[in-house]
Structure 1
Amino acid sequence: MDIGFIHAFLASLSVIIVSELGDKTFFIAAIMSMRYSRTTVFMGAILALALMTVLSAFLGYATTIIPRWLTYYVSCALFAVFGIKMLKEAYTMDANEAQEEYEEVQSELRKKEEEVDKQAMVDLEAGISRTPQRRLLFSFVSRVFLQSFTLTFLAEWGDRSQIATIILAARDEVSGVILGGILGHALCTSLAVIGGRCIAQHISIKSVHFIGGVVFLIFALSALFIDPDDH
């Protein structure tokens, strides 16, 4: 198999896992899966993450108009910066960071549900029914699925994993980046919806950041051993 594809796949898979474990999207899936159907929550979240991965990969691929050697070494430098930043965050991070992030996401989701319930009550009291378009939409797609998709997509936008995917696609084979990224997201989201509260509250964000920093640095240093033309 092509070494470029393998490198892109492994890099994307590793980077996504260390970026997404204990991330906001992870907690969204974990909390929603405790209230609603795990399958529905998973499908909404993974569709959003897969779409974001493809969009990010093609954004990175668009930079191929720039000389190959330049994008390759610039991306490696950015990976090194990410790695150092994550190691610094791991060193200064509070041990209860995961619990705080979990409670913050839980609070946000509760507020959104209260807003939806309040709006539904106002509409009911005013005798306002859903528009035909909304009724048609909800006849095909459940509200939970849409909520999982929307919240995950918005939380992922501008996230570390999205930026990392763009950087990887700028230097590595796009197909490998996309497949590795989607698999990484699927594994993390599966853990979130299956483990739910247990994993969300006992995961060590400090350890994940430390491992993540090392992973980012490893792939940054790979530039010293792999020729850009091999990708």
Structure 2
Amino acid sequence: MEAFLVSTGIVALAEIGDKTQLLAFILAAKFRRPVPIILGILVATLVNHGFAGALGAWITSVLAPETLRWVLGISFLAMAAWTLIPDKFDEADAQLAKSSVFVATLVAFFLAEMGDKTQVATVALAAQYNALLGVVAGTTLGMMLANVPAVLMGDRIADRMPVRLVHGIAAAIFAVLGIATLLGAGKSIGF
């Protein structure tokens, strides 16, 4: 349950102001059809974070526990720093396939999420908790908590969100996880 809750919270906070959230705003404004956009985001996130979580779980099987502890601790600290860097939206991310709203959203979101901080966080969280389903379910819920309001309310909430504050909170959580991991907090779960 801890893996699910931590994954949900971290990704929901990290996603605020992220390029994929900006993409959700653009898709909502362009298509004005929230249901297929939300479903496209859900499926893209499940597939993307499923692969990322599987990679994280695999990493735990190939690294020695002490090495894994250092890799994860440093990774969480790096994620804390990365979270503080504002995302810049690339117009190429908005180039959509000429097909249905669902397919266009699925493709655009999947590609935009590749190498994104929430995908990297999913790898690290899956390795940290060794709970693939809990982490993927949590990171997916976190993505949906951040992006569904973006799709439904669009521009009405974009200017009112305290992005810097939210990123600061997410960075602090990543930093605490990194320090706790380096100090041995994960020893009870195998590393």
TM-score, normalised to structure 1, is 0.71
Aligned equivalents of 1:77 and 1:36: distance in 2? 41
Which of the numbers 147, 155, 160 marks the counterpart of 1:202?
A: 160
After superposition, the C-alpha distances for 1:49-101 in whole angstroms (9 at most, x for unaligned) are 111111100011111222233213320221012214444x4xxx6xxx8xx74
RMSD of aligned Cα (Å): 2.4
Contact 2:7–2:125 (CA<8 Å) still a contact in 1? yes
Aligned equivalents of 1:221 and 1:7: distance in 2? 18
Matching of residues 51-70 of structure 1 within 5 Å: 51-63=47-59, 64-70=61-67
Percent of pairs with identical residues: 26
Deviation at 1:200, TM superposition (A): 2.4
Contact 2:69–2:184 (CA<8 Å) still a contact in 1? no
Matched positions, count: 186
Which gives a bigger RCO, structure 1 or 2 (Cα 8 Å, sep 6+)? 1
Aligned equivalents of 2:83 and 2:34: distance in 1? 31
Amino acid at match of 1:20: E
Q: Does 1:226 align with 2:185?
A: yes
TM-score, normalised to structure 2, is 0.85
Q: 1:66 to 1:189 in 2, by over 3 A?
A: same
Deviating above 6 A after TM superposition, structure 1's stretches of 4 or more consecutive aligned residues are: none
Q: Does 1:19 align with 2:14?
A: yes
Structure (1 or 2) with the larger CA radius of gyration: 1
Which of the numbers 69, 72, 76 marks the counterpart of 2:73?
A: 76
Aligned equivalents of 1:108 and 1:156: distance in 2? 10
Matching of residues 114-153 of structure 1 within 5 Å: 143-153=100-110
Could you tell me which runs of 5 or more consecutive residues in structure 2 were left unpaired when the two chains were aligned.
Answer: none
Aligned equivalents of 1:65 and 1:14: distance in 2? 28
**Does the residue aligned with 1:158 lie in a helix, a strand or coil?**
coil
Contact 2:4–2:134 (CA<8 Å) still a contact in 1? yes
After superposition, the C-alpha distances for 1:150-173 in whole angstroms (9 at most, x for unaligned) are 110000000011111111111212
Q: 1:52 to 1:85 in 2, by over 3 A?
A: closer
Which of the numbers 111, 117, 136 marks the counterpart of 1:178?
A: 136
Deviation at 1:108, TM superposition (A): 6.1
After superposition, the C-alpha distances for 1:163-222 in whole angstroms (9 at most, x for unaligned) are 111111112122221121111112112111112112223323322221121111122233
Which of the numbers 113, 118, 121 marks the counterpart of 1:156?
A: 113
